[in-house]
Amino acid sequence: MGSSARQLGEFELIRRHFSGHDRAEGVRLGVGDDCAVLAVPPGKELCVTTDSLHEGIHFFPGEDPFLLGYKSLLVNVSDLAAMGAAPHSFTLSLSLPDSDDAFLGELARGLFSLSSELGMALVGGNTSRGPLGICICAMGLVGAGQAVTRAGARPGDLVYVTGTLGLPGLFVRAGYHELSLGSAQWREAHEGAMHMPPRCALGQSLCGVASAMIDISDGLVGDLGHVLRRSGVGAEIDLGRLPVHPLPLSLLPRAEAISLAAYGGGDYELLVVVPPAAEARLLSLAQGVGVPVARVGRITAGAGLALSLDGQAVEPQRAFAHF
Ligand code: ADP
Ligand code: MG
């Protein structure tokens, strides 16, 4: 964002880049007043979540603004998917070092590429000067009492993971110069870390099927730990069954690639817990929306997570936390 670039005033910036995308069923009032006004249909409940991306913490300086716009919404809709909620609308709070028109145009393009795919309205926000940060609050609708929480896992249930794991973790390691990638590999890892597909359709279809769900943002092992604590159960996970992305597998020793898949984070895949009787239903729903799923373990009685690899017990590492 060079200072020679075209700069916009605050309200011109909002009007030019972030207005006119606020129409959706139930939006009584969108951008332009002190609050948006939303109607929740009878028999539905509103799921509300917020997540932010900060330069130097969640993405590397100089990141492509299209990808930043996309990912800032994706990380939020991933939480909606994990509850089984249908994406509805969102707010956008921007902290910007300057008001570069071209940068904002690309940010908006990335954001609206995903919101229009999902039919989400941008109903309000806030714009201030500061270090680059993008904070979104996303709202979704779920049938009353139907939200899939972290608390429903029961002994004997099966643990599934969508998609592949470990590519975003590989990109972060490359960004910190802990390994080097060729340019085609770098592009593949960058795409995997910034432009992953939303899992909303599958998440929504799992209301009444999954006993618990969570999205994998801080690493599979750490996020599974949240499900186990909230559900008051344990789990056995076979690390050899993790759907490790082929790129880390081809570049790293197998145990290191598996470790990236287990702890790397940033995957934004779903961890789905299903009773054995619902397994066939999960498989057919996942196939119907073209999302690969892999069974990685099962829920056990009593607390504790037992990890194994090739039949040997493995000690869990500490999961990611900001503090
Ligand atoms: P207020 O001072 O009442 O909080 P603002 O003057 O900050 O309102 O914003 C004017 C309108 O523009 C509000 O409706 C607000 O929701 C909307 N808005 C501000 N920034 C953004 C943004 N980045 N994206 C979308 N809407 C925004
Ligand atoms: Mg106001």
Residue range 116-145, pLDDT digits in tens: 999 999 999 999 999 999 999 999 999 999
Q: 271 has which bridge partners?
A: 161, 214
Please check the confidence at residue 28 and state whether its pLDDT lies above 90. Answer: yes
Residue range 149-160, pLDDT digits in tens: 999 999 999 999
Asked whether 172 and 230 are in contact (CB, 8 A), the reply is no
For residues 199-208, give the mean pLDDT. 98
Please check the confidence at residue 103 and state whether its pLDDT lies above 60. Answer: yes
Closest ligand 1 atom, residue 127 Cα:
20
Residue to probe by mutation, ligand 1, list 52, 107, 126, 137, most atoms within 8 Å of CB: 126
pLDDT at residue 1, as a whole number: 47
Using a pLDDT cut of 70, give the percent of the chain over it: 99
For residues 254-282, give the mean pLDDT. 97
The sheet carrying 212-216 orders its strands as 212-216, 269-274, 158-162, 293-300, 234-238, 305-309, 312-314
Ligand at minimal distance from the CA of 72 is: 1
Count of CA atoms in the C-beta half-sphere (13 A) of 258: 17
Q: Which helix (DSSP H) or strand (DSSP E) does residue 10 occupy?
A: helix 10-18
For residues 231-241, give the mean pLDDT. 98
Residue to probe by mutation, ligand 1, list 31, 122, 132, most atoms within 8 Å of CB: 31
Please check the confidence at residue 247 and state whether its pLDDT lies above 80. Answer: yes
The CA distances from residue 1 to 85, 104, 106, 315, in Å, are: 36, 10, 12, 45
Q: CA 202, 207, 209, 213: dihedral to nearest 10 degrees? A: 70
Closest ligand 1 atom, residue 126 Cα:
20
* Ligand 1 centroid, distance to 195 Cα (angstroms): 27
Sign of the C-alpha dihedral, residues 246, 252, 253, 258?
negative
Per-residue pLDDT band for 167 (boundaries 50, 70, 90) equals: very high
pLDDT at residue 318, as a whole number: 77
pLDDT at residue 246, as a whole number: 98
pLDDT at residue 3, as a whole number: 52
For residues 193-216, give the mean pLDDT. 98
Please check the confidence at residue 2 and state whether its pLDDT lies above 60. Answer: no
Residue range 50-100, pLDDT digits in tens: 999 999 999 999 999 999 999 999 999 999 999 999 999 999 999 999 999
Nearest CA to ligand 1 atom 7: 126
Q: What are phi and psi of 92, to 5 degrees?
A: -135, 115
**Residue 146, C-beta contacts closer than 8 angstroms, at least 6 positions apart:** 45, 84, 207, 208
